[in-house]
Every structure is written in C-alpha cells, then in structure tokens.
C-alpha cells in the first residue's frame, strides 16, 4: 500500500537515493530541501530551510504517513569550516521536523551517524555503547555532539509525547552522486580525473564502508516495521577495511596511476583535528529486528559507483573539496 511521505534533505546524496526508491515503490513523495532538486518523476519538490518550522508544517500535514528526516550539514570539511551551521541545522532542523511530524500524526525516521561514538576504542560499537569525545575547543566534535543531541530530542519526543520514531546511524556510506568530499568519492573523482590519490595518515585506519542502496533499504525498513518504534539502529557493513586498501581498490578498478599523495591530517586540517583509528558497527540489532544486512561488497559497490561516475561527466567536473 502506497504512503504519503516527506523527505527532508531529499535532494542530497542519501536522500536522493531514498526518494528514488520511494517513488519506485509507488509512494506519494514530497522532497523538502534548500538544495536544487535532483528530479524524480512522481516526486514533488518544495524549497525550504529545515529550521523553518512554518515552512515544514506547510508540507508535513495531516495525512502524511512518514517523515524521513535526512537534512543535515555533513562532512569533515564542513564541520571544520561551518561549526555553527552544523549545530544549528542538525539540532534546530531536527526539532522543527519532529514538531511538524507530531502535529501531523506522522511517523519519523531520523538519520544519524557513526560519529556519535566519537573515539570509543572498544569496537564493534553497539547502539547503547558509550560516547567518547574530545574537547569542546575542537570543532571536530561539533558534528558528533549535534547529532547526539538530535538523537536525545527524538527519544524525548517518543517518551514524552508518544511520537512514533526511529533513528538510523549510517557508517561510511558511499555510492553514486556523493560529492567528492569523502574518502571513496574523492578517490574515484581524482582517479578518473588522472590525479594522484590521497592517502591520509598512511592509510592504516579502518572503516566499514556501506553502499548507499543498503543504507536506503535499512532506512525504509525502519520507517515501515512496527518493531522500529523508539529504537536506534546501526546501519553499516560488518567488513572492516583499511583506508589504504580502499584507496588501492579504487586505483585497481579505475586503472588509475598508483601514485599517491600522503597527507598528515593534523598538518592539513589543524592541530586539534583527531582522526579515528577504527570505526566498526555491531549491526546485530538491525538484523534481528528489521531483517536488514549489508549485502553489497566494497568491490561491487565501487564498480557501480565508478560506472556511474564515468557516465556522468558533470560530476567529474565538480570541485574536489579534499586536502592536497
């Protein structure tokens, strides 16, 4: 049965893929975003700032079944350069989205992040594991803190107001359409433009890369399964891969030159920046309650991402926002 759905941030990377899937399954979809729309047949686009409660309430009206709240300021480059925007949008925008959904009687799925856990060394991380963060003098932690406070908001609305809501935490999501400001998207972008690949801090740190289609499926399940109400879910691959190995795989799949530029993140991003040595989710809860698992290998996901990039030269002409 089709539903009426609103996606905040639906013109962004994950949001655009989510909108595509919602349209494909026959839902009536409204995208609310201040970014230019990524057009999808059957989706309505409304321009607006997610912090504008009146504008959101005009879109999230009685009869809307689900609000997928993905609007946020994301990316290391942005939360180092725009910490105030990060806090304001990620917290204030979530408050406005929750208020609108509560007034309309809609369910909500809020997108969060693996950054929640900070630098907790005890991996894999379960949903209720401790957060370990650095000093507030480091803008590095503004994003993690803003998203954690957004999660507190969601759970408070659930407990105090009876809002039906769930939280999904993404772990290093990648794929077609992602701006070249993240490790894999930047590596593909540079490789296909014939530029040396960037290796940060010698590439020994590890990540669990999650293909966007898998992340979207988990998000949809959180929006449809009754078991998801009031719960938080890690959505991430269980395969741990070093950054160096991931960059080497991009070079292999693109037939790119093997030369790399080594970058010291402290020197490039400032002395208060802290990278994480490991970032590994325990996704058992999503598997047990939602029936979700990450099914796309890194090789398969990169092959699809590279094929898309080759077919979309406009993306290759966009600016690379990384260091070096």
Reported as a single tens digit per residue, the pLDDT across 268-300 is: 777 667 778 899 999 999 999 999 999 999 999
Whether 313 is in a domain gets the answer: no
pLDDT in the model for residue 80: 80
Position 254 pLDDT exceeds 90: yes
Whether 217 is in a domain gets the answer: yes
Whether 146 is in a domain gets the answer: yes
Q: Which domain does 234 fall in, by range?
A: 4-176+210-238+279-295
The crossing angle, in degrees rounded to 10, of helices 243-254 and 298-311 is 50
Whether 250 is in a domain gets the answer: no
Indicate which residue of 79, 143, 157, 174 is catalytic: 143
211 a catalytic residue: no
Whether 254 is in a domain gets the answer: no
How many domains is the chain partitioned into structurally? Answer: 1
Token pair belonging to 58: 């005009």
Whether 189 is in a domain gets the answer: no
Position 55 pLDDT exceeds 50: yes
Binned at pLDDT 50, 70 and 90, residue 321 comes out as low
Residue 20: Cβ-neighbour burial (10 angstroms; 0-12, 13-18, 19+):
buried
Percent of the chain with pLDDT over 90: 83
Give the CATH number for residue 168: 3.40.50.720
User: How many whole angstroms separate alpha carbon 128 and alpha carbon 283?
Assistant: 12
Whether 274 is in a domain gets the answer: no
Whether 48 is in a domain gets the answer: yes
- Which range is least confidently modeled, 20-29, 51-60, 73-82? 73-82
């Amino acid at each position: 049965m089709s539903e009426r759905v609103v996606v905040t941030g639906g013109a962004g990377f994950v949001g655009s893929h989510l909108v595509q899937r919602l349209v494909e399954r026959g839902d009536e979809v409204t995208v609310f975003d201040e970014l230019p729309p990524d057009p999808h047949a059957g989706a309505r686009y409304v321009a607006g700032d997610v912090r504008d409660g009146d504008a959101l309430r005009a879109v999230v009206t009685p009869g809307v079944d689900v609000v997928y709240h993905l609007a946020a300021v994301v990316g290391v480059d942005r939360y180092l350069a725009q910490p105030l925007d990060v806090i304001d949008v990620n917290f204030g925008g979530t408050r406005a989205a929750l208020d609108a959904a509560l007034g309309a009687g809609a369910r909500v799925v809020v997108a969060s992040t693996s950054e929640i856990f900070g630098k907790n060394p005890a991996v894999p991380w379960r949903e209720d594991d401790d957060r370990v963060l650095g000093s507030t003098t480091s803008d590095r932690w503004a994003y993690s803190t803003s998203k954690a406070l957004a999660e507190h908001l969601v759970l408070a609305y659930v407990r105090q107001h009876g809002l039906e809501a769930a939280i999904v935490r993404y772990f290093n999501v990648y794929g077609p359409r992602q701006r070249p400001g993240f490790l894999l998207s930047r590596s593909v972008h540079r490789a296909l433009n014939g530029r040396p690949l960037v290796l940060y801090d010698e590439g020994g740190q590890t990540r669990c890369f999650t293909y966007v289609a898998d992340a979207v499926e988990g998000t949809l399940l959180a929006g449809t399964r009754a078991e998801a109400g009031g719960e938080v879910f890690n959505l991430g691959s269980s395969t741990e891969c070093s950054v160096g190995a991931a960059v080497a795989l991009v070079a292999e799949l693109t037939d790119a030159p093997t030369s790399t530029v080594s970058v010291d993140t402290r020197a490039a991003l400032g002395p208060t920046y802290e990278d994480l040595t490991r970032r590994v989710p325990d996704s058992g809860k999503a598997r047990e309650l939602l029936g979700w698992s990450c099914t796309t290998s890194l090789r398969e996901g990169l092959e699809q991402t590279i094929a898309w990039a080759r077919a979309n030269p406009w993306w290759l002409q966009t600016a690379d926002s990384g260091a070096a």
